[in-house]
Structure 1
Amino acid sequence: MSPRPARRSPTTPAQLATARQVASLLLGYPDEELLTRLPLLRAVTAPLPAELAGPLGRFLDHLETTRLERLQTDYVETFDLQRRCSLYLTYYAYGDTRRRGMALLQFTHLYGRAGLHLADGELPDHLAVVLEFTALGDTARGERLLHEHRAGLELIRLALEERRSPWAAVLAAVSATLPPVAAADREEVARLALQGPPTEEVGLDPYGAAPFAPPEYMPQPVSGAPAGAPR
């Protein structure tokens, strides 16, 4: 497993926010509204540094050339039915344990202090929600969440690359908004890949095929235009 390279170009806070908000939209369940936003997403993505614009642009190409029904099927098969690709960050740190419930409450309280209130059924640790919070809510606290769950982010990226999923490009862009993976996080990724997340003795395979959260709890695409985008 090789670490991600450091950012190669100077990146402004506004560019990081734009990349994260675009990634947030692309990690939501694909629908007609997302497809109508393609011209806007291309316009705000093109001026970004190459390590951000490149992978995001590749996924936008995929959106443009793939039928919506195929996109939706692939999304469910990738993120709902494959635990290694789950977008719920606290799962990697806490698995299906009671500690995960406390972590979800901490996310929710953090968002509430910043004035972000989730829609009914949205779980606060979904990567699309965390990225939107980081881009448009409280950057410093959002950055802290991304750093705290760096190992989970890296495991998602590696799992998507292993599946040759087009969403791997989006995770590559997210990783490029962060410093390179630290040695401790690389060790945690290796441990997670081998052992899976923590479990309580409930007879569950942590990386089984069944989703750890039912589909009705999957967030819909996050609302709002990318940072810096025209309204």
Structure 2
Amino acid sequence: MLTLRALAHLMAYPNAPMQEALPELAEVIRNEERLAEGPKQAVINLITELQDQPLGEIQEQYVSLFDRGRHLSLHLFEHVHGESRDRGQAMVDLMEHYRLNGYELDAKELPDHIPLFLEYLSTQDETEITDMLGDAMPVMVLLGARLEEKESAYAALFHALEAIGGSCEQARDMRELASTEGPDETITKMDEIWEEEQVTFLGNNDPAGGGCGNTSPGAATTPTDEIPVRWVDNPGAQAAGQR
């Protein structure tokens, strides 16, 4: 799916090749039928902003947003596991899941780096995209809401992912958290929201186990006082590791 690849490139650290490719990326976004005019135009506006600024300024702004603290980290598991040991096992499981689905990592980035995650999904079929993007959607919604609070044009990338993948039951809670948490909070408040609940990821579809609870794009979500999220191990990866 070219749109996911375009969003991955726009979300990655900006460099000269990315800046040169901005017109091509804009064309991919314009041709995406699953994006309504609002989200589509917001991504185009980001591309225009990236075209109009010197590369050094873009890089400085990017580092200021994404590389200083955990508040806007582009690593999925940092928003769930923090620095706990569970994060290491989740990384191993995700890497094995990539491998079992024909995607070998040769980059320096960790497997939960969102641009890399989107690159992987861009090579997969619709079922894999829907399942994995849906599992990650609470984090995507939270990051989009935090960027919107900062009035950053990068929020458009996460809103586009929500429009493509469908929102989730936790969306209202994530946006409320972003609007009330103050500047650069650590993982503490996420822990409070997710305490004693489960996030399903990598194929656990048992409704009793929690999960994102995807809704189709534009559909209403049911308010909830609980946010069922905790990333779980991939049974397929564990079985592969035992062979």
TM-score (norm 1): 0.71
Counterpart position of 1:105? 92
Structure 1 residues 117-149: Cα deviation after superposition (integer angstroms, max 9, x where no partner):
222421111111111111123543343222222
Structure 1 residues 144-190: Cα deviation after superposition (integer angstroms, max 9, x where no partner):
222222221111111111111121111111111122221x4544675
1:96 to 60, 78, 83: 83
Range 70-79 or range 114-123, more displaced: 114-123
Counterpart position of 1:34? 18
Q: What are the residue-to-residue correspondences of 1:131-210 with 2, within 5 Å?
A: 131-182=118-169, 184=170, 186-187=172-173, 195-198=188-191
- Aligned to 2:9, what secondary structure does the other structure show? helix
Counterpart position of 1:85? 72
Counterpart position of 1:44? 28
2:7 to 1, 23, 48: 23
Separation in 2 of the partners of 1:188 and 1:60? 26
Task: State the 1:18 CA deviation.
Answer: 2.6
**Cα gap change, 1:174 to 1:72, in 2 (>3 Å):** same
Separation in 2 of the partners of 1:90 and 1:111? 16
- Aligned to 1:25, what secondary structure does the other structure show? helix
Root mean square deviation of aligned Cα: 2.3
Opposite residue 158 of structure 2, the aligned amino acid is: L
Opposite residue 34 of structure 1, the aligned amino acid is: M
Q: Which structure has the higher relative contact order (CA within 8 Å, separation 6+)? A: 1
- Aligned to 1:177, what secondary structure does the other structure show? helix
Task: State the 1:75 CA deviation.
Answer: 0.8
Counterpart position of 1:74? 61
Q: Is the 8 A contact 1:93 1:197 kept in 2?
A: yes
Opposite residue 150 of structure 1, the aligned amino acid is: M
Identify unmatched segments of 5+ residues in structure 1. 1-16, 200-231
Separation in 2 of the partners of 1:142 and 1:110? 13
TM-score (norm 2): 0.67
Separation in 2 of the partners of 1:157 and 1:75? 15
Structure 1 residues 182-210: Cα deviation after superposition (integer angstroms, max 9, x where no partner):
1x4544675797633459xxxxxxxxxxx
Identify unmatched segments of 5+ residues in structure 2. 182-187, 193-243
